[in-house]
Amino acid sequence: MDMRKLVGHRTLIQCAASIIIENEKGQILLGKRSDNHCWGYSGGSIEIDERVEDCARRELLEEMGLTAGELELFMINSGPEVHYIYPNGDEVSNVEIIYICREWEGEPRAADGEMTDLRFFDVRDIPEEISPPIKPVIDEYIRQRTFRDQ
């Protein structure tokens, strides 16, 4: 927010950490974002001097009310396809580190207002309305899960 006061809506490199939650049935937890009304997993910007894993855990707790257990590195999402303009006009070039978490505690709940509806989806039922900057991650997740489940 401090940086935005200085640069306005100009493009910033945004480093982020995210977690894809899976339940015991192999379903993925997604939340409907309140800003663009698309579905997405939990994640957000890394604070100065914050460890990537700590950021991912913090964002999960803030957005979905869950405490993460063991994290497994899934992928790094970057490049022109994840350049994004938020509904408020802020522009970012994302570098996102994504983890998968199968061991977590708590009851999923929209905790901080960034997400409205939280639901678990089977891999074949993941909605089409995925938030644009994470679409490459969801596509890769579906590809890997489909291959693994065959």
Mean of pLDDT values over 12-41? 95
Average pLDDT over residues 26-39: 95
Alpha-carbon distances, residue 143 vs 2, 54, 55, 136, 146 (angstroms): 38, 27, 26, 10, 5
Task: Report, as an integer, the average pLDDT of 37-47.
Answer: 95
Domains of the chain, residue spans: 2-149
**pTM of the shown model:** 0.90
Tens of pLDDT, residue by residue over 66-117, are: 999 999 999 999 999 889 898 899 999 999 999 999 999 999 998 888 899 9
Domain 2-149 in CATH 3.10.20.440? The answer is no
**DSSP-based three-state secondary structure for 134:** helix
